[in-house]
Amino acid sequence: MSVTGAVMVPHPPLIVPEIGHGEERKIQVTIDSYHRAAQKIAKWKPDTVVVISPHSVMYADYFHISPGNGAKGNFARFRAPQVKFQADYDTEFVQMLCQEAEARDIPAGTLGERDKSLDHGTMVPLYFLDQYDTDYKLVRIGLSGLPLTKHYELGQCIKKAAELLERNTVVIGSGDLSHKLKENGPYGFQKEGPEYDERIMDVMGRAAFGELFDFSENFCEKAAECGHRSFTIMAGALDGLAVKTEKLSHEGTFGVGYGVCIYEVSGRDTNRYFLEEYRQREEEKARKRKNAEDPFVRLARKTIETYVRTGEKISVPEGLPEEMYSRRAGVFVSLKKDGRLRGCIGTIAPVRGSIAEEIIENAISAAIKDPRFHAVEPDELEHLVYSVDVLGDAEKISSPEELDVKRYGVIVSRGYRRGLLLPDLEGVDTAEDQVEIARQKAGIPEDAEDITLERFEVVRHY
């Protein structure tokens, strides 16, 4: 036995009548769909129900799996303390899941619990399920700040644990969609809000789980979604399985998206190993990108690959463009992995004898010395994407109106403090944003008025 099925559901506490006091009827379609999903789970008669909740314990680099024999919870936070829950954990499943995660080098386990109580991302699904079935044990898992690929891998571990234990297992991906659907909603409007909801409901409605990796972190952040990582873990638990999909509903009455889908496993399907397919596509992209890299980026790559593998710094090689030997300039070297920044270090003005020397020194620093990240490991090298920015001369400006976020970088100074932000960065859409981020990087107080602004252009090499 293994994973029998899964459901994608939202978790608005208002959907519970004791909390909504009639307001819940405005999302009756979602309520009806929730009941259908809960009835389907009950029909599957699961031994174990795995709930993936964005509101359980969350760490940047670790998946928390709730420890102990069980937990209690209630909706006191939402003025309904009388609605209570008592859940018994499947301790054997938790142990097996932790072992599988460790075997795959996935940082997951039962350490670091801050609050044993059940969270509302878990209790709302249980509110509906418990009306139809209580003969199951629970596994509760939180999210992390790790890449989506790691979330999918954890889902694969859920599937493997279910198979090894011969558990009839159901996975609940608990998560709301965008919180930015309406101007008069509690979180306001952002154009990415409805765009996210349309895309995610299309992807989940087709069970096209490989497309979950195509949602950029910046896009998801602007949409203010909370369920994408939950859905990705759930998708991983269905890896390689054929599913019958029912797209039940989508509503955004209160300015937050609520989507409900059911996935019933009908066998195996060798065409649905989505992570494997994604990695093959990324490897092909990496090969093409590597072949297309210009001499600036090739030097950064060679520097980092040599240093990480051997600990040795290369000398300036022969055969580079003359500009790299004869010209001096500030240089930033940036690394990305899985679409996310992995390191970025540079110099505002030249401090070495040539651009080539600047690239070598800053490449090593970006890989090893960026305080925001741990040092690059050898097994990461093939997954890194490089860019090298060569800075032009900075010129003083009198206001942010003289900036263009696509064309100019900015330097914000006050005394000895200086903060720099490169141009054309994902998620930086206005000059005000650009100045604010650079100010924060410099540690300049928000109310400081005696600041100096400079702008500069760059030549970006890929």
CA gap 179, 185 in Å, rounded? 8
CA 33 – CA 22 distance, rounded (Å)? 18
Rounded to whole angstroms, how far apart are CA atoms 20 and 165? 40
| Cα 183 → chain centroid | 25
CA distances from 350 to 327, 353, 386 (A): 10, 8, 20
- The pairing of beta strand 108-109 with beta strand 63-64: parallel
Q: What is the pLDDT of residue 207?
A: 98
Residue pair 125/62 in contact (Cβ under 8 Å)? The answer is no
Q: Which residues share a beta bridge with 390?
A: 331, 459
pLDDT recorded at residue 190: 95
Residues of the chain with pLDDT under 50: none
Alpha-carbon distance of 302 to 299, in angstroms, equals: 5
Beta-carbon contacts of 379 under 8 Å, excluding residues fewer than 6 positions away, are none
pLDDT of amino acid 449: 81
Report phi then psi at 80, rounded to 5. -140, 60
pLDDT value of position 340 = 83
What is the reported pTM? Answer: 0.86
Q: Quote the pLDDT of residue 444.
A: 93
Kindly state the DSSP code that residue 318 receives in the 8-state scheme.
S
Residues in the chain: 462
Cα–Cα distances (Å) from 319 to 209, 327, 354, in that order, read 45, 15, 15
Q: What is the DSSP string of 249-314?
A: EEE-TTSS-EEEEEEEEEEE-TT--HHHHHHHHHHHHHHHHHHH--HHHHHHHHHHHHHHHHS-PP
Neighbour tally for 285: CB within 10 Å: 11
Any idea what DSSP says for residue 402?
G
pLDDT for the residue numbered 308: 97
Tell me phi and psi for residue 21, to 5 degrees: 50, 45
Contact 124, 74 (CB under 8 A): no
306 Cβ contact list (under 8 Å, min separation 6): 312, 313, 314
Q: Which has the closest alpha carbon to 27: 231, 187, 176, 189?
A: 176
